[in-house]
């Protein structure tokens, strides 16, 4: 049985939440996405073919949806035995960007049909995860999010028995640095990190196609939890006229954007600054003359908690008994 799971953004590892989803073709993606809680990431892993446990395998990694302001980023992996290295080529796997949507769907269906020789997995990284990561006190960049997903997907299939001998990755950042990082994590695997790997290695092309097909279907089947909202939002890239109009029409002055928006992207930030209400935060920490906290506050007894300015302005006070 194929496996599906959802992970909260702050979790460091992935946990299985159910095994009731079976993706056998593109047609199964609509219910997969319609049941998704957009606040968390969603991971799907196909069954691992027995041959991929018995024989050494190649594994390719790529993503789709890195640049859009709308929707998730999706990381995909595909793996086959080294003895079946020609299989992705025979299935028509080339750079997903040179294929039409219909061609990608056909190849994706073929990958699903050849489940006795080919396995795959994806992580749907929610817009909420992406934005929260970039707004952390210690910023976790999009490159960091990407690398974490690629590493954890690879670890996931290895933990479940896949015999991975070769790893091919489309780089994020400097290929040399990324390759060293992966070699340290997977010392027994031959690692190749390259720019435009999806146009060089067919196994990476296969991963790119899986990621792209799921990315497209995630937008088509997005279920707005905020209410009735137009789904005419184009491809989700900031320069798409339909996307621009949708963003302008759906910014709330109090709540901001629906969850489909990566609110950490600069176009969204600018729109919030110009359309949404501003928030003024009150300073409550004890500070010295130079703006630093006094060290004595860490040794002194607890002082009376300061009231928020809201209560001071309205002459309100708290009471212990009613």
Structure-derived torsion over alpha carbons of residues 37, 42, 69, 209, reported in degrees to the nearest 10:
-140
CB atoms within 10 A of CB 6: 20
CB contact set of 100 (below 8 Å; sequence gap of 6+): none
- Residue 62 counted as an annotated binding residue: yes
Give the strand pairing for 73-81 and 57-64. Answer: antiparallel
Rounded (10°) CA dihedral 140, 143, 146, 150: -110
Distance CA 54, CA 69 (A): 42
Structure tokens at 66: 């890195």
Please check if 183 is assigned to a binding site.
no
Find the angle CA(142)-CA(275)-CA(257) to the nearest 5 degrees: 45
Tokens of 165: 């001998």
**63 with 73: CB under 8 angstroms?**
yes
Token representation of residue 93: 């796997």
Query: Vertex 127, ends 125 and 131: CA angle to 5°?
Result: 110
And the tokens for 153?
Answer: 């997907």
Q: Is 63 annotated as a binding residue?
A: yes
The answer to whether the CB of 286 falls within 8 A of the CB of 294 is: yes
Give me the residue label for tokens 């919030």: 272
The answer to whether 6 and 40 have CB atoms below 8 angstroms apart is yes
- Distance CA(96)–CA(204), nearest Å, equals 10
Q: Residues annotated as binding site for a divalent metal cation?
A: 62-63, 170
Q: Residues annotated as binding site?
A: 62-63, 170
């Amino acid at each position: 049985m194929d496996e599906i799971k959802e992970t909260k953004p702050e979790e460091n590892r992935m946990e299985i939440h159910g095994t009731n989803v079976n993706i056998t073709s593109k047609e199964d993606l609509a219910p997969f996405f319609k049941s998704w809680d957009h606040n968390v990431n969603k991971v799907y892993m196909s069954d691992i073919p027995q041959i991929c446990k018995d024989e050494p395998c190649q594994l390719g990694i790529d993503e789709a949806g890195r640049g859009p302001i709308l929707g998730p980023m999706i990381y995909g992996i595909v793996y086959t035995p080294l003895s079946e290295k020609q299989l992705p080529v025979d299935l028509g796997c080339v750079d997903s960007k040179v294929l039409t949507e219909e061609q990608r769907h056909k190849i994706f269906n073929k990958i699903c049909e050849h489940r006795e020789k080919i396995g795959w997995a994806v992580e749907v990284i929610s817009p909420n995860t992406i934005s929260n990561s970039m707004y952390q006190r210690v910023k976790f960049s999009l490159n960091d999010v990407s690398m974490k997903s690629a590493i954890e997907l690879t670890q996931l299939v290895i933990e479940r028995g896949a015999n991975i001998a070769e790893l091919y990755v489309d780089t994020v950042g400097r290929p040399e640095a990324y390759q060293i990082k992966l070699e340290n994590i997977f010392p027994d695997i031959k690692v190749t990190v390259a720019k435009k790997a999806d146009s060089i290695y067919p196994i990476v092309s296969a991963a790119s196609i899986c990621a792209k097909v799921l990315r497209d279907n995630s937008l088509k089947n997005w279920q707005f939890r905020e209410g009735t909202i137009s789904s005419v939002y184009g491809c989700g890239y900031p320069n798409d006229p339909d996307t621009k109009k949708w963003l302008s029409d759906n910014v709330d002055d109090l709540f901001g954007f629906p969850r489909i928006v990566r609110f950490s992207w600069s176009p969204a930030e600018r729109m919030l600054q110009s359309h949404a209400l501003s928030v003024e935060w009150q300073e409550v920490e004890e500070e010295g003359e130079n703006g630093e906290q006094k060290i004595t506050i860490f040794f002194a007894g607890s002082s009376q908690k300061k009231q928020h300015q809201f209560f001071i302005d309205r002459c309100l006070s708290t009471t212990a008994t009613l």
